[in-house]
Structure 1
Amino acid sequence: MLVSNVSLSGCAGVNSALCAGAGEGHQGGGSFRITLSPTGNLIVAVCLGFIGTFGLLNNLLVLVLFCRYKMLRSPINLLLINISISDLLVCILGTPFSFAASTQGRWLIGKGGCMWYGFANSLFGIVSLISLAVLSYERYSTMIAPTEADSSNYRKISMGIVLTWVYSLVWTLPPLFGWSHYGPEGPGTTCSVDWTAKTPNNISYIICLFVFCLIVPFLVIVFCYGKLLYAIRQVSGINASMSRKREQRVLFMVVVMVICYLLCWLPYGIMALLATFGPPGLVTPEASIIPSILAKTSTVINPVIYVFMNKQFYRCFQALFHCETPRRGSSLKSSSKLPTKAMRGGAPTGPRRSNDCLYMVASLGQPAATLPQLEASFEPTIDVTKAPSSDFNKPVVVSLVAQLDD
């Protein structure tokens, strides 16, 4: 069996913080609370050990690649590094304590440690969530008005990173000052916000946390990537085969992002709402620990989705693994105010390099500039080597994927 009944009378010999948390004994006045059995605790410990180990390795590898290769030091990649740092801090400052608690079947570092654990894990988790939303918005805004990387771009991204931490602090500090509170959750081997207290103070906080730290980031992600996909579909008539291939690749990546976001965080949010608004005992320990573990798996999944599915990072990973210089990307990026609008006036400019990306600006009704000699594997997204059509009502369309698949 995964669960067993433990009398509250024996709590003093185990840990006072464990008994002060959620449970029927705490809220409903019952004589016992349910905890995981030794087998259940062992299974949880194995899962947490796997998550902590691979989350640590994956995020450390991301930081090593970023420090090793200058070509990765673009403004938008700073957001990926921010996500990796927050996930890495979870693996260092959070997961080891819950792992140790699961191996012993009880919380080990007291009430103060429980409050610290709940605060730190909530802070780093929300930083990661908000960073994903900021990343999607940055990719969307880059599609709307792409610019060359300069100091202003770095300042804008830096402000976005600061925003993620300030926003997270705004929602994780209140429980330390009386708006709800941090305490043991589920079987008592992890700590978080007290989901089970039925007071208006606690319920109001949980509703705000659910809306502003889960639903709002999700809506931003869906909106921004939805607009990005729509823009790619708009240029599908320029080069049907290439556009269809790129559209399918981006669509796959976006679907994976959204599904993994929901898989990691939606069960935890639903569990919190059920524990808050449902009757006492509705959320059992095994039912509560599973969403908690799923939320922690985001520290392993995020580097895989947002970094190793990124061609630029993957090329550098291959180069690091084979001890060689990373090869240049073979795709041509084009800059435009909007994918469905043409850039009018003036002769086309030559290619210019910025952050290892090649940009080409084409203007309406003008002969195209001669493309530089590129490697044989180069496949342009748009054929700008042909003379323009005599039909000047047809705009030249320049597509942009905003570094989504670089």
Structure 2
Amino acid sequence: MIVSNVSLSGCAGANSALCAAVGDRYQGGGSYRSTLSPTGNLVVAVCLGFIGTFGLLNNLLVLILFCRYKMLRSPINLLLINISISDLLVCVLGTPFSFAASTQGRWLIGEGGCMWYGFANSLFGIVSLISLAVLSYERYSTMVAPTEADASNYRRISQGILLSWLYSLAWTLPPLFGWSRYGPEGPGTTCSVDWTAKTANSISYIICLFLFCLITPFLVIVFCYGKLLCAIRQFDRQVSGINASVRRKREQRVLFMVVVMVVCYLLCWLPYGIMALLATFGSPGMVTPVASIIPSILAKTSTVINPVIYVFMNKQFYRCFQALLRCKVPRRGSSIKSSSKVATKAMRGIAITGTRRTNDFLFMVASLGHPAASGPQLGPFVEPTVDITKAPSSDINRHVEVSIASDWL
């Protein structure tokens, strides 16, 4: 994850000598005991087992669907796959070690394993967060792009994926080279950034990590999806012939999906960030190991929630999932009856008769769900219902019916 709880935050006051002894034993390469009771360790182990199992299954299923069905292999879906891969790596390379430590009541793989665990989980967690921000920006920029986008061009998306990994490495490598450090945390069964060190070196790193790896992605997500919602509402006002109740229902659906994404992001990561800041700037012992374990578990649940929100609530992926279960060919979600070339030609004819911005939007919606189309690729957040079998005319609004929020945003 981006971080993993609060490092030995309960080590204060009367317990300082005990904690020092634990730290000495750990630094020497040995194992150390959890500060939780056996019952507490059992509860944590059950939660981690649930998260690890379902996170593994959900993300593995996403990869299977992507490999199995060619219709899912559009550029923007690669971002969803990047998120699933990073979450899958957390479930494979991180959660099993903290689960095993909780079942045994002590850290099992020594100091080197602790540093590796902290680095790997921070790396994959930040990759997931940055990928969510890149995904929101890509959807927004495609929506407002004044020119047509090449749906078969993977270069831009590949650059976004590369950015997510390089950005994450830029923030997770410094603790290995002296800017802060990775060490034991919380109840003593996981490792992460040392939140409790009061040195300027450590505090400066923690502030930067909080601002650039938690707050910045959140602001990008809120801005991009907010602008996207505004663009959809503006489009509805520009196109006549759409029933008011249908328009209201569609906008409410889009708003609901945006709120779900934002709330789940905050639910998973905000308690984690607040707990880390309290441990960093609060008085010693303010955050106990028992209190710190809850935000850590919430952060790890993102590996289970992300596939559900961004993939299985996407109708394109969901249709492929149903087809996989039934061993059938997935049905198309679009009612476009002609080939991509015919669609492109028709919509270009439409563009001559109306305002440029509105018809660019219509062109974009018409090309959705067809990765081979030459129109803009918006990815898996809209399912169109456009009848383009009729010849273009000046009264185009009577011939075009657009359903913007049928697919997942």
Query: Please, what TM-score do these two structures have when normalized by structure 2?
Result: 0.80
Whole-angstrom distance in 1 between the partners of 2:319 and 2:27: 47
3-state SS of 1:236 partner:
helix
Within 5 Å, give how 1:31-42 maps onto structure 2. Answer: 35-42=35-42
Partner residue, 1:178: 178
Q: Tell me the number of residue pairs that the alignment of Structure 1 and Structure 2 aligns.
A: 369
Determine whether 1:341 maps to 2:344.
no
Partner residue, 2:131: 131
Whole-angstrom distance in 2 between the partners of 1:260 and 1:339: 38
Return the match for 2:304 from 300, 316, 322: 300
More helix by share: 2
For 1:265-295, what per-residue CA distance to the aligned partner results, in whole angstroms no more than 9, with x for missing partners? 0000000000000000000111111111100
Determine whether 1:289 maps to 2:289.
no
Partner residue, 1:256: 260
Letter in 2 for 1:266: L
Greater Cα offset, 334-343 or 257-266? 334-343
Whole-angstrom distance in 1 between the partners of 2:110 and 2:58: 31
Determine whether 1:201 maps to 2:196.
no
Letter in 1 for 2:290: E
Return the match for 2:279 from 275, 278, 290: 275
Letter in 1 for 2:148: T
Partner residue, 1:388: 394
Greater Cα offset, 281-290 or 377-386? 377-386
Percent of aligned pairs sharing the same letter: 72
3-state SS of 1:235 partner:
helix
CA contact (8 A) 2:122 2:192 kept: yes
Partner residue, 1:371: none
Letter in 1 for 2:252: Q
Return the match for 2:323 from 316, 319, 322: 319
Whole-angstrom distance in 1 between the partners of 2:387 and 2:190: 50
Whole-angstrom distance in 1 between the partners of 2:170 and 2:403: 35
Partner residue, 1:405: 408
> 1:388/1:207 Cα in 2 relative to 1: closer, same or farther (>3 Å)?
same
Give the superposition deviation at 1:234: 1.0
Whole-angstrom distance in 2 between the partners of 1:236 and 1:399: 9
Give the superposition deviation at 1:232: 1.0
Partner residue, 2:120: 120
> 1:245/1:149 Cα in 2 relative to 1: closer, same or farther (>3 Å)?
farther
Bigger relative CO (Cα 8 Å, ≥ 6 apart)? 2
Return the match for 1:17 from 1, 26, 49: 26
Within 5 Å, give how 1:53-92 maps onto structure 2. Answer: 53-92=53-92
Partner residue, 1:365: none
Whole-angstrom distance in 2 between the partners of 1:339 and 1:254: 28
3-state SS of 2:184 partner:
strand
For 1:310-361, what per-residue CA distance to the aligned partner results, in whole angstroms no more than 9, with x for missing partners? 11000100100111000001366998999982449xxx99x77873577889
Give the superposition deviation at 1:241: 3.7
Partner residue, 2:148: 147
For 1:208-250, what per-residue CA distance to the aligned partner results, in whole angstroms no more than 9, with x for missing partners? 0000000000000000000000011112333134432322221
Is there any run of 5+ residues in structure 1 with no aligned partner, and where? 21-32, 362-376
Partner residue, 1:355: 370
For 1:30-57, what per-residue CA distance to the aligned partner results, in whole angstroms no more than 9, with x for missing partners? xxx9811110010000000000000000
For 1:109-143, what per-residue CA distance to the aligned partner results, in whole angstroms no more than 9, with x for missing partners? 00100000000000000000000000000000110
CA contact (8 A) 2:34 2:188 kept: no
Query: Please, what TM-score do these two structures have when normalized by structure 1?
Result: 0.80
Partner residue, 2:189: 189
CA contact (8 A) 1:339 1:400 kept: no
Whole-angstrom distance in 1 between the partners of 2:257 and 2:144: 20
Is there any run of 5+ residues in structure 2 with no aligned partner, and where? 1-9, 337-342, 377-382
3-state SS of 1:330 partner:
coil
Within 5 Å, give how 1:43-58 maps onto structure 2. Answer: 43-58=43-58
Within 5 Å, give how 1:214-233 maps onto structure 2. Answer: 214-233=214-233
> 1:339/1:98 Cα in 2 relative to 1: closer, same or farther (>3 Å)?
farther
